[in-house]
Structure 1
Amino acid sequence: MKKVIKLASLKADVTLEADGEWIPVKNWPGIGDLPGLGFKVRSTNYPEYLTAKNNLQIQIAQKHGNDHAPHDELNAADGELATDHLLLDWRGLDEKYSRETALALLTSPEGRIFRNMVYWCAGQVGKRQVEFLETAEKN
C-alpha cells in the first residue's frame, strides 16, 4: 500500500483564520512550561491585518525615507497591529483580557516575548492535520 496526501487536508481553514481560534502555548524557549496559557487569535493571513500591515509599512517608509526606522517604533507598530487585528482573548493569565492591557503590553519593549507568542499563535491558526490515504500500488 502506498500513502498519498489528501489534497483537501492541505487547505487552510479561512473561516478560522477570520473568526479566530484558541491556540495553546504549552511552553516557550527560555521560559519553560506554560500550563493553561492560550490565545484566541486570528491568522496572520487575515485580510484586514494584511491590509493594515501594508499601509503601516508604507507610512513608516515615507516617514523615514532612506533611513532605518527605530526598532522600538517597529515593535510598537507590530504590537498595535496585533491588538487591532489578531489578538481577541487570552486565558491562563492573572488578568482578564482587555484591549487596553493588551495594547500596553504588546506595544512596549518589555512586551516582546508576549508579542512573539501572539504572533506565533496567529501563525498557527487555520492549519489542519495532514490526512493520508492508502492506495494500492500499480505494477
Structure 2
Amino acid sequence: MKTGSLLLFSITFFSLMACGGSDMPAPMSAEERLALPADVAMGQALFRECKQCHTATPGGPNMIGPNLHDVVGRQAGGKADFAYSTAMKRAEFTWDDTHLDQWLEQPQALVPGNRMAYRGNPNPADRRDLIAYLASLSEE
C-alpha cells in the first residue's frame, strides 16, 4: 500500500470506529436505580467497604464494629459479645429497613455520640441495596 492509501484507510477506519456505539450501557442514576427492585448483589459489592470494620458471617468475629450477620431484627446496641458505646447501648430501636436507612445515611444523626467512623452514604439506592444484602443474611 502506498503511504497516501494507508493514511486514507487509517482515517476511514478510525472514523468508522468512532461512530460505533459502546456495548457498555450508561451508568444509572440513583433515581433510575430506585425504580428497580433492590439489588442484593450490588449490596454485597457495596459491603466491601464495610468489611474494613465488620464481618457478616454466621459466628464470625467482631472487629472494630460488631458482626453484622443477622443484624436485621436485632436490638440496636444489643449484640451481647460486643463493647458498644454508651450512646449505642442507650439506643431504643430495632434494626429494621427504616433505621438501617437512617443509620447508613447519617449515623451521627440517628445515634449522636456513637463511635462509628463512617460518615454516611447520601445515595438512597446504595443504601437500599446494602440493606437488602444485610436482610439476606438474616436467619428469620
* TM-score, normalisation: structure 2: 0.27
Give TM-score scaled by structure 1 length: 0.27
The structure that has the greater radius of gyration is 2
More strand by share: 1
